[in-house]
Amino acid sequence: MTDLNIDGMALAPGVVETIVSIAVGEVEGVASVGPSSTSSLRAVFASKPATQGIDIALDEEDKLHVSVRVDVYYGYALPELAAKVRQAVVDAVASQVGIPVGAVDVYIDGIQFAR
């Protein structure tokens, strides 16, 4: 994604993805955002949240279309968890960026078991 221009403000690529990553990571039941094979290593060495597994596109109506890939913990109802992820993304983007979200696609890539 290139710079996102909203009302005279330009957001660099990765800014919205970081906001989405933090919002999704705070949803109870989400184990990791993005590919599970790299997320644990990335968490050890990175100072900011991983944005891999998050895609942002601007549609023809100037609304964001967000796709996010997550691993979830076993025991959560997947439709309810996906709905909470969608709502967290919409709320975070609306409050911090001020642009409407047209769609949030949630892809559950795996299930992790608590240790």
19-29 pLDDT, tens digit each: 999 999 999 99
Q: What is the mean pLDDT of residues 43-51?
A: 56
Give the pLDDT mean for 87-97.
95
Residue 31 to residue 26: CA distance in whole angstroms: 10
**CA 88 distance to own-chain centroid:** 9
> Does residue 11 have a pLDDT over 60?
yes
Work out the mean pLDDT of the chain and round it to a whole number.
Answer: 85
> What single-letter DSSP state applies at residue 74?
T
